[in-house]
């Protein structure tokens, strides 16, 4: 995103001259010089420079002129024999504008012919013009024999941009002007919204710790990847985890048909599936104490709370924040608890769900 003000075309003007009193005899060739000015100052005082630029001069003398030989140099000078030449600007160049903290890139597009043919003759000056579309100011790049300047014509934003409140933006990707000026994509958890192809992407709902009575409608950015009832027995855990391959997993439970999760928690996938063995040890992540073993149980409790796994967690402290599912033989088994609701073995009225997001 960049300021609109006086948007325009950059005109790179080059002039080549042959200096006087070079030849001392009839046998000596006429020699001219190319003096390339790489910086300039606008009428408002803004300074510009050309970077990562390579000019290729071909003719009686072949010369490569690079802005990166000395990035801080304001001019580059090369001698040339008199004759017919062509000068071309190679791909990979960039334009920068000076700021208080250094330089910032300015988007620019070369729209003139490239390369450009010219002649160096004794005492003659030949203008060479490279025209760019970009820039926010008027700037003259010095007065060398190869002279670069930026001439601004008020042409507005680039073709792929839209002016919104005096600023040129790409409404296809700008989360503050998504699809149209002023259309703000909502963010989540302190993160900005996301705009893709002019459409706001749903922000991922984020929370830490354990949530009770969490409406499923709030789970923006999450996709349900697994569901069964507490009566289900024998679904292989590798099958479940293959279906739920997202970077983050959310485990929850609810009465069948409810649009609210009785208890839920989420964390990075590696933490949710961290093998804690069969003891009363948790792996803490995102404010939750997780436990998992493919031959014992899978669930969570408050970080720091004591477990009583046999094989599921039967502890009574803060029961509303506990979830536990039986496992054995690398498969999920029936039961056992959803918050304070326990002894749910073979109970088809309660549902286990897993959501995922990246």
The proportion of the chain whose per-residue pLDDT surpasses 70, expressed as a percent, equals 75
At residue 236, the pLDDT reads 97
DSSP letter at 143? -
156/147: higher pLDDT? 156
At residue 79, the pLDDT reads 72
pLDDT > 80? residue 214: yes
How does strand 54-58 pair with strand 194-196?
Answer: unpaired
Among 129-133, 146-150, 319-323, 347-351, which is the least confidently predicted range? 146-150
**CB-based contacts of 318: which residues, under 8 Å, 6+ apart?**
301, 302, 305
74/35: higher pLDDT? 74
136 pLDDT band, cuts 50/70/90, is very low
Contact 172, 156 (CB under 8 A): no
341 pLDDT band, cuts 50/70/90, is very high
End-to-end distance of the chain based on CA atoms, in angstroms?
27
Question: Mapping DSSP to helix (H, G, I), strand (E, B) and coil, where does residue 179 land?
Answer: coil
pLDDT > 70? residue 5: no
210 pLDDT band, cuts 50/70/90, is very high
Does residue 311 have a cis bond before it (omega within 30 degrees)? yes
83 pLDDT band, cuts 50/70/90, is confident
pLDDT > 50? residue 18: no
pLDDT > 90? residue 228: yes
Q: In terms of Cα–Cα distance, which of 293, 323, 321, 7 is closest to 134?
A: 7
260-274 pLDDT, tens digit each: 999 999 999 999 999
Q: How far apart are CA 161 and CA 170, in angstroms?
A: 5
169 pLDDT band, cuts 50/70/90, is confident
φ/ψ of 242, rounded to 5, equals -70, -35
Contact 215, 343 (CB under 8 A): no
pLDDT > 60? residue 25: no
32 pLDDT band, cuts 50/70/90, is low
Contact 106, 75 (CB under 8 A): no
297/60: higher pLDDT? 297
Does residue 99 have a cis bond before it (omega within 30 degrees)? no
* Domain definitions of the chain by residue range: 8-150, 210-357
């Amino acid at each position: 995103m960049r300021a609109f003000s006086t948007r325009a075309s950059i005109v790179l003007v080059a002039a080549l001259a042959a200096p006087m009193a070079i030849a001392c005899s009839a046998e000596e060739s006429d020699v001219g010089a190319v003096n390339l000015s790489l910086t300039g100052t606008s009428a408002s005082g803004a300074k510009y420079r050309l970077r990562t630029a390579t000019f290729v001069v071909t003719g009686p003398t072949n010369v490569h002129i690079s802005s990166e030989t000395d990035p801080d140099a304001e001019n580059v000078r090369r001698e040339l024999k008199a004759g017919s030449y062509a000068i071309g600007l190679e791909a990979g160049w960039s334009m920068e504008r000076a700021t208080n903290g250094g330089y910032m890139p300015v988007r620019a597009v070369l729209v003139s012919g490239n390369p450009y043919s010219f002649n160096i003759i004794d005492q003659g000056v030949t203008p060479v013009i490279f025209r760019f579309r970009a820039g926010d100011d008027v700037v003259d790049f010095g007065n060398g024999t190869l002279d670069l300047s930026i001439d601004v014509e008020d042409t507005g934003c680039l073709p792929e941009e839209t002016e919104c409140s005096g600023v040129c933006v790409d409404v296809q990707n700008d989360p503050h002007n998504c699809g149209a000026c002023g259309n703000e994509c909502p963010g989540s958890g302190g993160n900005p919204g996301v705009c893709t192809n002019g459409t706001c992407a749903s922000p991922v709902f984020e929370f830490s710790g354990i949530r009770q009575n969490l409406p499923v409608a709030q789970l923006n950015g999450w996709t349900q990847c697994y569901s069964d009832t507490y009566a289900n027995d024998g679904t292989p855990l590798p099958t479940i985890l293959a279906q739920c391959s997202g970077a983050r997993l959310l485990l929850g439970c609810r009465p069948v048909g409810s649009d609210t999760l009785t208890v839920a928690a989420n964390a990075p996938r590696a933490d949710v599936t961290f093998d804690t063995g069969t003891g009363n040890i948790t792996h803490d992540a995102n404010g939750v104490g997780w436990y998992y073993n493919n031959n014992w149980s899978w669930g969570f409790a408050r970080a720091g709370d004591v477990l009583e796994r046999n094989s599921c967690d039967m502890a009574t402290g803060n029961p509303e924040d506990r979830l536990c599912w039986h496992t054995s033989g690398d498969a999920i088994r029936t039961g056992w608890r959803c918050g304070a609701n326990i002894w749910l073995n073979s109970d088809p009225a309660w549902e286990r769900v897993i959501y995922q997001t990246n």
